[in-house]
Structure 1
Amino acid sequence: MPNVDFTLNGEYVEVNQLLKLVGLCDSGGAGKMLVAEGLVKVDRKIETRKTAKIRAGQVVMFGDVRITVKA
C-alpha cells in the first residue's frame, strides 16, 4: 500500500482537490466523480461529499493509496 504525506498550506483542502494535488486524478472534476462513485474513504468511512474539507490529522484512502494529511 503506497503511503503519501500531504502538507496543508491552509486550514483545509477539499477532498476532490486533494486527489488532484497528489496525482491520483487529472482534475478536481475527476476527483468529484471518484468521490461520487464511493471510491474514496476518509478516516475509514466512505466519503460522499465531493468537496468535504480535509484537515490535518485525517487519512484519505483511494484504492490502495493512503494519504496522510499533515499541518
Structure 2
Amino acid sequence: MRDVGIRDDMIRLGQFLKLAGVAETGGEGKTFIVSGDVLVNGEVETRRGRQLHKGDVVEFEDERLRVA
C-alpha cells in the first residue's frame, strides 16, 4: 500500500487519481471510475466527485493507495 498525501481535509476521487499518478488526465480518471474499475474502501465507486478523507483506501488494478 502506498500513502498519497493531500493538503486539505478532503479530495475528490478524480483529483486523487491524478495526484497519485494513476490517471494522466481527468478524462482518463473518469473513464476508470465510470467503468467500475475503482474501489474505495473495498466497494466499487462510480462517482468521480466522491469525497475522500484521510485514511480512505483507493484500489485500481494492482495498486492500493491510502489518502494520507
Question: Structure 2, unaligned stretches of length 5 or more?
Answer: none
Question: Aligned residue pairs: how many?
Answer: 68
Q: Displaced runs of 4+ in structure 1, greater than 6 A? A: none
Residue 27 of structure 1: how far off its partner (Å): 0.9
Q: Is the 8 A contact 1:17 1:27 kept in 2?
A: no
The TM-score normalised by the length of structure 2 is 0.92
* C-alpha RMSD of matched pairs (Å): 0.9
Aligned mates of 2:8, 2:36 — CA distance in 1: 26
The TM-score normalised by the length of structure 1 is 0.89
Aligned mates of 1:51, 1:32 — CA distance in 2: 10
The answer to whether 1:38 aligns with 2:39 is no
| Seq. identity, % | 34
Aligned mates of 2:8, 2:35 — CA distance in 1: 27
